[in-house]
Structure 1
């Protein structure tokens, strides 16, 4: 009888040795960001929380690591011709910054609708920016055409072993700083970061969990790992991980090494961004806050663990950040809009304002509505935006207004 043989499984795209080699290669050329214990977030979540401040890189994101590791492995001919990428985010800036430092020409293709500030920032790092197409897919296709016609080296934002190995250097640093970490919570977009982290975590001589996090609106790797078919799309605060199709190489890493993937909603992401600014005094973008968002949304899962959370980027639009902070104040009751029904007669608004004064509540804005309302002609609605100390203070104000005979309701956030 013939002996049946089985083909050995394909080796994974990277190993821990690749990550260690990347760490030696990029040493001294990226910021060795701190890994710090957050006492307040630990008390809040029931875990021992250690934060890796990758938002302190020069371009405010971890993407520099993989980009630099890739650039340093190019031969002289490839360096002379230059590299190209399709990106409107942190990958573009990391590649542009280190390409400029190393004297390697960098071309970045972005969709035409890319915000001007991103174009300016990338050009400021020395890259040539080409605007092409209305979607990222169109920009990507154009970049591949230029790669073929001009002999550029295409640098993928995540589905490249050199990129994955460079990103994994974060885990090496975290474990060197805090050997007790037993769980990593890692944001997933295309999967480059979690691939590198998992390669290191699973090479240790003890069990370390690696949990991925995706926004509920973009569960692409979750679908692949779980065999689910959840829809991908929509406006998410975590735009840096809003990826509809994960990488093929990264998916192999995730399927083999990652323990689980969890999803987080927009409220969790907003809360995480706000808490990091209030508690840690650090600005983090939505994708960068996804790890903390998962910790907040799944506290029971991580209770009692020593958790490493990677704050992978800090590039957030200032107006968007302001909106997130104001929405968080509203949800906590410190900022509120009350809708009050009044009779249209002299002194009606004064009577309401007196109650606000008695309750020591600051009035910010007053909106009077006489015309566009379903009330009778002699009735009106007044919306008052106000500032209180906390939820209990707001509830005392509402009770005082109702006790004086006013109909009051709160205008809630979505």
Structure 2
């Protein structure tokens, strides 16, 4: 395998740093989903933890390094999940955190970020504008800017999910991974290629936020002017070149799915698996719904990556 920015030895070592509450998450075959999807489906459940997403695997590494260096503060841009995770990890290490988010982000997530002790600044724009503001704060205050997917710790933290999949010795032959900034996809993808090269790595992104998928397909950074998707956790417009370089080395495919399929996936996870998930976490199920022939007779793992969702919006989408 060609070299990505990630290192398998560092990923193994990361497990000793990450709070065990975020490790060894449930992995189980969910037979109740299979009649609707036409294949064997296992779920890697990354929502059963204090921040209800996989992101703290990375923020645990980031804040551990900051604490070791004697740093006292950090800032990040977040649609919600990274901000919660960074606030949680920083609180336990005595670090001050500022989170910059869009004013249109999920209210429940913003409330949770505040409750975890972070300072919250809202911008009148999307996630890319929040990234610009976070970078300005870091420069102005001389503090660490935590950039999801660019910071290798966020990718290698997420990659510990891949270690757990590889060690499970299950019979799955493909893993479906939500694709946004790329930390989850490059992290898990790196480990699959290193330790389970027979497993197909398939990244899934909404049609309404296709920048990273288009970039992967063209082999160069492709930006978009706007996004239009309920899956705000993966709604980026400007892929990071270094992350794309890694993704090109580890992803076997990148597919786009429709909004209706994302909603159908959320509804299916609720009705058949009893799981309330955010739209980004249903991307894998959406891909299965849209291409049953491709996956017929196979055993697929989908990473359910987050469950931070506004309850009123969820009721509108899912109809429960």
Normalised to the residue count of structure 1, the TM-score between the two structures is: 0.72
2:180 pairs with 175, 185, 189, which one? Answer: 189
- Greater relative contact order structure (CA < 8 Å, 6+ sep): 2
- Give the aligned CA root-mean-square deviation in angstroms: 2.2
Counterparts of 1:253-402 in structure 2, within 5 Å, are 253-326=246-319
- Deviation of 1:31 after TM superposition, in Å, equals 4.7
Cα offset, 1:175, TM superposition:
2.7
Greater displacement, 229-238 / 183-192: 229-238
Instruction: Give the aligned partner of residue 14 of structure 1.
Output: 6
Provide the residue aligned with 1:71 in structure 2.
63
| Residue 262 of structure 2 is aligned to residue 249 of structure 1 | no
Residue in structure 2 matching 1:109, options 83, 86, 100: 100
Partner of 1:394: none
Residues 274 and 190 (structure 1 numbering): CA distance in 2 closer, same or farther, change over 3 Å? same
Cα 1:104–1:237 shift into 2, 3 Å: same
The offset of 1:308, in angstroms, is 1.1
The 2-side partners of 1:180 and 1:232 are apart by: 41
Corresponding position of 1:391: none
Question: Where does residue 24 of structure 2 map in the other structure?
Answer: 32
**Cα deviation, residue 208, structure 1:** 1.2
> For 1:26, what is the secondary structure of its paired residue?
coil
Structure 1 gap ranges (5+): 1-8, 330-414
Going from structure 1 to structure 2, the CA distance change for 1:294 and 1:151 (only over 3 Å counts) comes to same
Does structure 2 retain, via aligned residues, the 8 Å contact 1:158–1:191? Answer: yes
Change (3 A) 1:288 1:222: same
Match status 1:91 vs 2:88: no
1:218 lines up with 2:209 in the alignment:
yes
1:106 deviates by 1.0
Q: Does the 8 Å contact 1:110/1:139 carry over to 2?
A: yes
CA offset digits 1:78-111 (Å, max 9, x no partner): 432x111011310000000111112111111223
Deviates most, 244-253 or 188-197: 244-253
How much does 1:75 deviate? Answer: 5.0
Structure 2: which 5+ runs fail to align? none
How big is each residue's C-alpha offset from its partner over 1:26-48, in whole Å with a ceiling of 9 and x where there is no partner? 15242532011111222332322
Question: CA offsets per residue over residues 210-251 of structure 1, 9 Å max, x none?
Answer: 000010111112211222979664431211111112222221
Map Cα deviations across residues 121-148 of structure 1 (whole Å, 9 max, x no partner): 1010111112345443333222222212
2:162 is aligned, of 159, 171, 194, to 171
SS in 2 for 1:83: strand
Q: Contact 1:190 / 1:243 at 8 angstroms: preserved in 2? A: yes
Task: Identify which of 115, 119, 133 aligns with 1:128.
Answer: 119
Count of residues in correspondence between the two structures: 318
CA distance in 2, matches of 1:154, 1:311: 27
Runs of 4+ in structure 1 off by over 6 angstroms are none
